[in-house]
Amino acid sequence: VTHLIQTATLCRSVSLSEQTCHLEFRVDGTDEFPYKPGQFVSVREPLIEGKQVTRAYSIASAPRAGRFELCLNRVLEGKMSNFLCSLPEGSQIHFRGPHGLFTLREPLRDSMFLCTGTGVAPFRSMLQWLLADPSRHEGHELWLIYGTRWETDIYYADEFRALDQLHPNFHYLATLSRGSHTWTGLRGYVQEYAKGIATSRPNNGAGTVHAYICGLHHMVNHTREMLLSLDWDQHDIMYERYD
């Protein structure tokens, strides 16, 4: 029942960069916490002079008994993000959920997962889940196109690289918009690589490929408009905006 407020205990807090943290929670009092990859929780805490603040965070891990993980950025002067990133291990949070319709479409198609920054969170959940069982992804090409400014902001790179090596049908592309001269990987914006993949397909991938987009509205809108301009059906483009 998703309207109930539950509590969870922070088991592990890891900083992924200066402004980003990875948090692992155990739901209190139960091993049951079913959700679909891509869904989010609403964290609710009395942060402003006792007044409740509620913020959504995508779950960054595939469903596992009574556990979930988050990946979040400290937003400048942001109430909840700074509270959570500074939270000591062992602390309790209040939350509702799981919520949200940003989930994998069935039947699965060849799929592009397009994100920037912590927008990778729901895709870590989806891809962990999909790639855990051949029957979930066999016969389909999957691309994770992950854009950030700098190399230090590519989160979970080792995990995605390992999955890329293990699964010939999973392709991990990390691209930097402001990479230093030592960066030898891809450069440029997510939508350019998404366009490259779409246009390499018959009919620009329209009707045969799904796109999932997650991040700040600017990137989501640009990428969506690019695919619509290639005659994609809007129903084949799923998106989640963080702001």
For ligand FAD, the nearest residue by Cβ is 78
45: contact with ligand FAD by CB under 6 A: no
| The only residue of 13, 61, 81, 148 in contact with ligand FAD, by rule CB under 6 A | 81
Of the pair 121, 142, the CB lying nearest ligand FAD is at 121
Amino acid at 64: R
Nearer to ligand FAD, 98 or 205 (CB): 98
Dihedral, CA of residue 119, residue 122, residue 125 and residue 129, to nearest 10: -120
The string over 95-112, giving b where at least 16 C-beta atoms fall within 10 Å of a residue's C-beta and e elsewhere, is bbbbebebbbeeeebbbb
How far apart are the C-alpha atoms of 108 and 209, rounded to whole Å? 9
Nearest residue to 100 (alpha-carbon basis) of 155, 59, 63: 59
Is residue 71 a contact residue for ligand FAD (CB under 6 A)?
Answer: yes
Which range in 8-16, 80-88, 105-113, 231-239 contacts ligand FAD by CB under 6 A?
80-88
The site map against ligand FAD for 2-41 (x = CB under 6 A) is: --------------------------------------x-
Question: Which of 154, 197 has the CB closer to ligand FAD?
Answer: 154
The CA distance from 171 to 137, in Å, is: 13
Q: Which residues between 105 and 124 bind ligand FAD (CB under 6 A)?
A: 118, 121
Q: Which residue has the tokens 């949070």?
A: 93
For 130, the enclosing helix (H) or strand (E) is helix 121-131
Q: Which stretch binds ligand FAD (CB under 6 A): 134-142, 148-156, 161-169, 235-243?
A: 235-243
Return the sign of the alpha-carbon dihedral for residues 103, 105, 108, 114: negative
CB of 194 to ligand FAD, least distance (A): 21
Give me the residues that bind ligand FAD (CB under 6 A), please: 40, 55-58, 71-73, 75, 77-82, 118, 121, 216, 240, 242-243
